[in-house]
Amino acid sequence: MKKIQLILSAALLLSLPSCRFIKVNNSLLEGWGGEKTVIVASDTMASKDTTVGEFNSLDCNVACNIVYTSGDCAVSLTAPDNVIGYISIENKNGELVVKKDSKVSFNKLHKVSLKVACPELQAVKLNGAAEFSAPTGISAPEFSIDTNGAVDMEINGLKTGNARITANGSADIEVNGLDCSFMRMVVNGAGDIVLTGRADKAEAEINGAGDVDATGLDCQDFSAQTHGIGKVKEPKQR
């Protein structure tokens, strides 16, 4: 760390005659200091069941495969045995938060799975290269999806009042069997959203190169906005 600081100080001094000033971010110094430990994931898998109490939303910040089913609150994590201890699962005011230790990074990590159950899942936030599926569907008074990164999501049956999907990045989101009063979709980037089912009212907004396919949606009140080269395929009923 001291050597890095001396080098940067010398660079600053050399830049003074030409009136150029360099601002150094402390976080860069920390990264160069090699504080993160790199863990090469093993081929031996381990599992742990976690009791976290009642929750109705999920915030996942780990690259993994998530399967949701309706039922009593339960969480089960499967990961390489030298990785699983660095992934934390906790309940923050009814939100299940999954994240890794900030002081480590993983290499060759391909197999992490998370099984989640709760009576009513009302919100899902996915950050990173995550996959999410709800093979038995989701039923809740309201429901929202927020994704950041290369996310794949498939929901087979969604019954709710108001629903919202915000996809940032290159997400692929498919919702089949939708039954809701209102659905709002926002795509920022190159994400794709496909809907089938019915909605009393629906709105779609695309900022970038994303696509929304609502041709399989029964909706008489549908509106769309596009900013960029994205496309919206509207319900056939219009």
In terms of domains, do 126 and 191 share one?
yes
Q: Identify the pLDDT of residue 126.
A: 98
For the segment 62-119, what is each residue's pLDDT rounded down to a tens digit?
A: 999 999 999 999 999 999 999 999 999 999 999 999 999 999 999 888 889 999 999 9
Q: Which residues, in sequence order, are bridge partners of residue 148?
A: 127, 168
β-strand pairing of 74-80 with 45-50: antiparallel
Q: Identify the pLDDT of residue 237.
A: 63
Q: Is residue 65 part of a domain?
A: no
Q: Is residue 63 part of a domain?
A: no
pLDDT at 58 over 80: yes
In terms of domains, do 154 and 92 share one?
no
Query: pTM here?
Result: 0.83
**Residue 222: both structure tokens together:** 């549908």
User: To which H or E segment does residue 32 belong?
Assistant: helix 26-32
H helix count then E strand count, the chain:
2, 20
* Better pLDDT: 225 or 5: 225
Q: Identify the pLDDT of residue 36.
A: 86
Domain total of the chain: 3
Give which of 156, 195, 193, 160 is closest to 179, Cα–Cα: 160
Q: Is residue 66 part of a domain?
A: no
For the segment 147-196, what is each residue's pLDDT rounded down to a tens digit?
A: 999 999 999 999 999 999 999 999 999 999 999 999 999 999 999 999 99
Q: Is residue 237 part of a domain?
A: yes
Q: How many CB atoms lie within 10 A of CB 126?
A: 30
Q: Identify the pLDDT of residue 34.
A: 55
Dump the DSSP string for 154-208: EEEEEE-SEEEEEEEES-EEEEEEEEEEEEEEEEEES-EEEEEEEEEEEEEEEEE
Question: pLDDT band for position 20 (50/70/90)?
Answer: very low
Q: Is residue 64 part of a domain?
A: no
In terms of domains, do 228 and 128 share one?
yes
In terms of domains, do 31 and 41 share one?
no
d(CA 103, CA 31): 10
In terms of domains, do 223 and 112 share one?
no
- What is the SS3 assignment for 4? helix
Q: Identify the pLDDT of residue 33.
A: 46
In terms of domains, do 193 and 209 share one?
yes
82 lies in which domain range? Answer: 37-57+71-119
Q: Is residue 195 part of a domain?
A: yes
In terms of domains, do 97 and 141 share one?
no
In terms of domains, do 111 and 153 share one?
no
In terms of domains, do 99 and 168 share one?
no
In terms of domains, do 134 and 217 share one?
yes
In terms of domains, do 198 and 231 share one?
yes
In terms of domains, do 96 and 154 share one?
no
